[in-house]
Amino acid sequence: MTNGNMTNADALTNAELAALEADLAHLGRADPVPEPSDALLARVLADAANHMPVAVAPERMARPKAQRRFDFGAAIAGFWQPVSAGLAAAALGVWLGWADPVGVNAYADILLASDSIEASDTVLDAFSLFDMEL
C-alpha cells in the first residue's frame, strides 16, 4: 500500500486479478479498437494544412528593416537610370531644335565649319608689283 486512499479491501487476490485481466483482454478481442478511417485522416491532414506555419526564407528573416528599404530604393533607381537618361537626351534635342539659342548656333558654326581647300585663279593685288617689263 503506497497511498492513504487505497485500502486493503481494494487489493485483489492473484486469482481475482487474473480473472479481471482475462475479462479486459476479452473485451480487447471482442471489441477491437478501430483503425482510423480515411475520412478521419483526411480531416486531420486538412486541419494540419490550415494550421501549418508559413515557411519564411532565413536570409530574408535576418535582414534588418532599414536594409530592406535601401534595397527597395536601389531597385527603383536601377530601373529608372536608363529610362531617365533617354528622357533627358530627348528633351535636350527638342530644346535645341525649337529654342535655337544664339550661343548654341555659334558653337555649332565652329563645330560644323568646313575645312576643305577650294581651288582659285584669282591673283592677289600685292603680286602685281612684281610684274616687270623686260
Q: Which stretch binds other proteins (CB under 8 A): 32-40, 73-81, 86-94, 112-120?
A: 32-40
Question: Residue 30, interface with other proteins (CB under 8 A)?
Answer: yes
Residues recorded for the chain: 134
The rounded distance, in Å, linking the Cα atoms of 72 and 90 is 28
Say whether 43 sits in a helix, a strand or coil. Answer: helix
Sign of the dihedral through C-alpha 100, 104, 109, 112: negative
Helix or strand holding residue 55 (H, E) = none
Question: Residue 14, interface with other proteins (CB under 8 A)?
Answer: no
Question: Residue 24, interface with other proteins (CB under 8 A)?
Answer: yes
Residues 43-72 contacting other proteins, CB under 8 A: 43-45, 47-55
Chain positions contacting other proteins, by CB under 8 A: 2-3, 5-6, 9-12, 16-17, 19-21, 23-24, 26-28, 30-31, 33-38, 40-41, 43-45, 47-55
